[in-house]
Homo-oligomer: A and B are copies of this chain.
Amino acid sequence: MPDIKHFDPDEALDRVVRLFWEHGAATTSIQAVATATGLNRSSLYATFGGKRELYLAALRRYLRDHSHRAFAFVAEDGRGLPAIREFFAGLIELRCTGPYAGWGCMAVNAHAGGERDDPEVRGLLDDHHERLRGAMCTALLTARSQGDLSPGADVDAAAETLALLAYGVNLRSRAGAEAAGLRRTVDVALGAVGAMGASG
């Protein structure tokens, strides 16, 4: 059975991720995808299905390769606050410099666009949020067990705060925010988290 594709679907999907990541679903045409991947429309449709399925595949891949990976690092790091600090440092670096500078986070972008109207996308975004929150929670619990956090601190709420802070960083990076400013902001915020539960 000649089921042999003349291209690598995985490599193609990588380029599709970058397109949707930078420009969003609404402003990325199938033609643009075809041009960027060097593939014909027929091959795209035969391999991935329509535009919706293509975007979903790209989003899933982005979440797996970028978001979930970074979250796992934070949760499994074992150092607590330093892990969170490193997470934000890496995030700001990635968002403000290098090939992905100014693209923000694909999941964050999906929140604000028409993508979130799709129930499937909505589910992925909720899952993404839960994972981010969970990772922060784990790291904060580690910090607390190490005495880096007051025993009375509300870890759940603090984790959610850090998640929302990350969303803010991702968002502002798309408008060209300076890395230095974001670093200082996050530094101060994490300092406040470290001092949390001390008097409030």
Instruction: For A186, list chain B residues within 8 Å (CB).
Output: 161
Q: Which stretch of A9-17, A22-30, A49-57 is in the interface?
A: A22-30
Instruction: For A172, list chain B residues within 8 Å (CB).
Output: 111, 129, 164, 167
Interface of A is mostly: helix
Q: Is A18 an interface residue (CB 8 A)?
A: no
Whether A114 lies near B181 (C-beta < 8 A) is no
A160, B171: Cα distance in complex, Å:
13
Q: Is A6 an interface residue (CB 8 A)?
A: no
Chain copies in the assembly? 2
The residues in A between 104 and 120 inclusive whose CB is less than 8 angstroms from any CB of B are 104, 108-114, 116
Whether A188 lies near B108 (C-beta < 8 A) is no
A113, B21: Cα distance in complex, Å:
10
Q: Is A34 an interface residue (CB 8 A)?
A: no
Closest beta carbon of chain B to A9's beta carbon, Å? 27
1/0 contact trace for A166-183 toward B, CB 8 Å? Answer: 111101101110000100
Instruction: For A86, list chain B residues within 8 Å (CB).
Output: none
Closest beta carbon of chain B to A132's beta carbon, Å? 11
What residue of chain B has the Cβ atom nearest to residue A122's Cβ?
Answer: B175
Task: Identify the A interface with B (CB < 8 A).
Answer: 23-24, 26-27, 104, 108-114, 116, 122, 125-126, 129, 154, 157-158, 160-161, 163-169, 171-172, 174-176, 181, 184-189, 191-196, 198-200
Told that A110-B112, A111-B171 touch, could you supply 5 new A-B pairs with CB distance under 8 A? A157-B184, A160-B181, A161-B189, A192-B193, A192-B195
